C-alpha cells in the first residue's frame, strides 16, 4: 500500500475528534440539532488548525441520511454516522455535494461566474451542496462583488464556507452576511496529546520530551506538528524493526537549542559578563544553529520572564517543570522596563540581520548590547574598557 502522510491519515472524521475548537464544533452541532443551518460561514485562523477539517465534517453531517431521518440520533449523537451511502461517498472522496475551490489560484471574476453557474444546480442526492472557498482573501474586489448577489440570495441547497488565514482582508459586505468562526491556535498540551495517540496507533515508542519538541516547533498548527512528526519518524527510525524514537536524534534533526543557552544569555546580561555572552554566541555559530532562529527563541525567553514577573505564576509558560521553576526563580532579575528594552533591541536586530552579510559578527554584537541594556552605564559593545561605575540591574 502506498504511504499516506500522517496529516491526511489522521484527519478527524467527526466533530468529537477535532481538538481545541470546541467553541466552534459545539455551535455547529447545536445549529444542526435545531435545524438552523446558515448559508454563509467564515472560518478564520492560522494554517493547519482545522478549518478545512471542520468544513468537511459539517458537509458530511448535513447530508448524512441518519442525521436527516433519525431524530433521536440527530438530537443525541449529532455526528455524521460514517455508514450511510452519503457518508461513505464523502469518506471515499466521491461525494458530489462538496466542492473545494482554491481562491488563491482562481481569483478572477470569470472564475467566480463559473462558480455561480455551478451553484444554481441542486444536489442529486442528499440535502445540501457545500462550497468550501479556501484562501478567500485572495479574491479580487471585482470577484468579491460578483459573489455578493449569490450570497444575498443563496439557493436553499447551498452552503458557502469561506476559509481564510487573513480575516481582515475580507470585505465587510461579505463578512456581514456570514456567521464568523475564529479558529484558535492549538495549545501545546493538545498537540502533544494528539501526537501521542498517533504514535500509539502507529505502534511507536517515543522517549519523554520528544513530542514536546515536535509540538513546540509547530507553534500552534496541528498540521505542522503532524508533518514534523512524519519527518522525525523517517529520520529516527533507521531499521524497520526498530520502534523507538530517541530524544537525542530528534533534538539533532530539529536543530533544537537547549533552554540552558537562553538562561546563559540572561545570566550574562544580569552579571554584566561579556565573556560569558561571547561564549554563547560562539556556541550558536560553531554548532551551525540559525542566528535568526536563536534571536526568535531568545525573544520568547524574555517574554517568559515578563509573563512570570507580571503574573507571579508560570501557568502561561509551555515548558517542562524544571524549566518553569527556573523562570520563577530568575524572574525578578530584570525590571519590566529593562526586559522591554531588551526585547525591542532583539526585534530591531532581527529585522536588520536579515539584510546583513557579516551577520555572525553582528549577532555577537547584538548579544553584547543586551548587557548594555541591563547595565546602562557599561558600554560593552563599543569595545575598550569602561571606567564608569556599574549600575545595579534593578534600577
Ligand atoms: N483541531 C484539529 N484537531 C485534530 N486534527 C487537526 C486539527 N486541525 C488540524 N488537524 C490536522 O491537520 C490537518 C490539516 O488540517 P486542516 O486542513 O483542517 O487545516 P486548515 O485550518 O484548513 O489549514 P489551511 O489554512 O492551511 O488550509 C488535518 O488533516 C488534521 O490531521
Ligand atoms: Mg484548509
Ligand atoms: Zn451518514
Per-residue pLDDT tens for 268-289? Answer: 999 999 999 999 999 998 888 8
Q: Which residue's CA is minimally distant from atom 17 of ligand 1?
A: 52
At 62-109, the pLDDT tens digits run 999 999 999 999 999 999 999 999 999 999 999 999 999 999 898 888
Q: What angle do CA 45, 173, 181 make, to 5 degrees?
A: 25
Residue 251's pLDDT is what?
Answer: 87
Q: Which of 295, 270, 271 is nearest to 285 (CA)?
A: 295
- Cross-strand partners of 160: 40, 131
In this structure, the residues whose C-beta lies within 6 A of any atom of ligand 1 are 7-8, 10-12, 18-21, 47-53, 134, 163, 165, 186, 194, 222-223, 226
* pTM, entire model: 0.82
End-to-end CA distance of the chain: give it in Å, rounded.
66
CA of 60 to the centre of ligand 3 (A): 7
User: Are the C-beta atoms of residues 186 and 12 closer than 8 Å to each other?
Assistant: no
Q: What angle do CA 266, 321, 299 make, to 5 degrees?
A: 35
Q: Give the C-alpha separation, 155 to 239, whole Å.
A: 56
Q: Which atom of ligand 1 is nearest to the CA of 7?
A: 31
User: Are the C-beta atoms of residues 130 and 55 closer than 8 Å to each other?
Assistant: yes
Residue 380's pLDDT is what?
Answer: 61
Q: How far lies 266's CA from each of 66, 79, 232, 251, in Å?
A: 60, 51, 31, 23
What the chain holds in terms of domains, given with CATH numbers, is 6-182 (3.40.50.300), 188-253 (1.10.8.60), 259-374 (1.20.272.10)
User: Are the C-beta atoms of residues 308 and 328 closer than 8 Å to each other?
Assistant: yes
Ligand in nearest proximity to the CA of 15: 1
Residue 383's pLDDT is what?
Answer: 46
Q: Give the C-alpha separation, 368 to 379, whole Å.
A: 9
Mean pLDDT of 15-33: 97
At 294-350, the pLDDT tens digits run 999 999 999 999 999 999 898 888 888 889 999 999 988 999 999 999 999 999 999
Which of 11, 24, 103 is the pocket-test mutation for ligand 1 (most atoms within 8 Å of CB)?
A: 11
Is the pLDDT at 21 greater than 50? The verdict is yes
380: cell is 560593552
Residue 127's pLDDT is what?
Answer: 92
252 pLDDT band, cuts 50/70/90, is: confident
Is the pLDDT at 136 greater than 80? The verdict is yes
Amino acid at each position: 500500500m502506498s504511504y499516506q502522510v500522517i496529516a491526511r491519515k489522521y484527519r478527524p472524521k467527526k466533530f468529537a475528534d477535532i481538538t481545541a475548537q470546541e467553541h466552534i464544533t459545539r455551535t455547529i452541532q447545536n445549529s444542526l440539532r435545531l435545524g438552523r443551518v446558515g448559508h454563509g460561514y467564515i472560518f478564520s485562523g492560522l494554517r493547519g488548525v482545522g478549518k478545512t477539517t471542520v468544513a468537511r465534517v459539517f458537509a458530511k453531517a448535513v447530508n448524512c441520511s441518519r442525521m436527516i431521518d433519525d431524530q433521536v440520533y440527530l438530537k443525541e449523537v449529532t455526528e455524521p454516522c460514517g455508514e450511510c451511502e452519503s457518508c461513505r461517498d464523502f469518506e471515499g472522496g466521491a461525494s458530489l455535494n462538496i466542492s473545494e475551490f482554491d481562491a488563491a489560484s482562481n481569483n478572477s471574476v470569470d472564475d467566480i461566474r463559473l462558480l455561480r453557474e455551478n451553484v444554481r444546480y441542486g444536489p442529486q442526492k442528499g440535502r445540501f451542496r457545500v462550497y468550501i472557498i479556501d484562501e478567500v482573501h485572495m479574491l479580487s474586489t471585482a470577484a468579491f462583488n460578483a459573489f455578493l448577489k449569490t450570497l444575498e440570495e443563496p439557493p436553499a441547497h447551498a452552503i458557502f464556507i469561506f476559509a481564510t488565514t487573513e480575516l481582515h482582508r475580507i470585505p465587510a459586505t461579505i463578512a456581514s452576511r456570514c456567521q464568523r468562526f475564529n479558529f484558535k491556535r492549538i495549545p501545546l498540551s493538545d498537540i502533544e496529546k494528539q501526537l501521542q495517540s498517533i504514535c500509539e496507533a502507529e505502534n511507536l515508542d517515543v522517549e519523554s520530551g520528544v513530542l514536546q519538541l515536535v509540538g513546540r516547533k509547530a507553534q500552534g498548527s496541528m498540521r505542522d506538528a503532524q508533518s514534523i512528526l512524519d519527518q522525525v519518524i523517517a529520520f529516527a527510525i533507521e531499521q524497520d524493526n526498530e520502534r523507538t524514537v530517541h530524544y537525542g536524534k530528534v533534538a539533532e534533526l530539529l536543530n533544537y537549542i537547549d533552554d540552558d543557552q537562553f538562561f546563559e544569555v540572561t545570566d550574562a546580561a544580569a552579571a554584566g559578563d561579556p565573556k560569558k555572552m561571547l561564549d554563547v554566541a560562539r556556541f550558536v555559530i560553531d554548532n551551525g544553529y540559525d542566528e535568526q532562529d536563536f534571536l526568535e527563541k531568545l525573544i520568547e525567553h524574555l517574554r517568559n520572564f515578563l509573563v512570570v514577573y507580571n503574573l507571579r505564576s508560570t501557568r502561561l509558560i509551555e515548558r517542562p517543570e524544571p524549566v518553569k521553576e527556573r523562570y520563577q526563580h530568575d524572574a525578578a532579575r530584570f525590571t519590566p522596563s529593562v526586559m522591554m528594552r531588551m526585547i525591542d533591541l532583539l526585534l530591531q536586530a532581527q529585522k536588520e540581520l536579515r539584510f546583513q552579510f557579516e551577520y555572525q559578527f553582528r549577532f555577537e554584537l547584538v548579544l553584547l548590547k543586551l548587557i548594555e541594556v541591563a547595565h546602562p552605564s557599561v558600554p560593552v559593545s563599543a569595545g575598550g574598557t569602561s571606567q564608569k561605575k556599574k549600575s545595579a540591574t534593578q534600577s
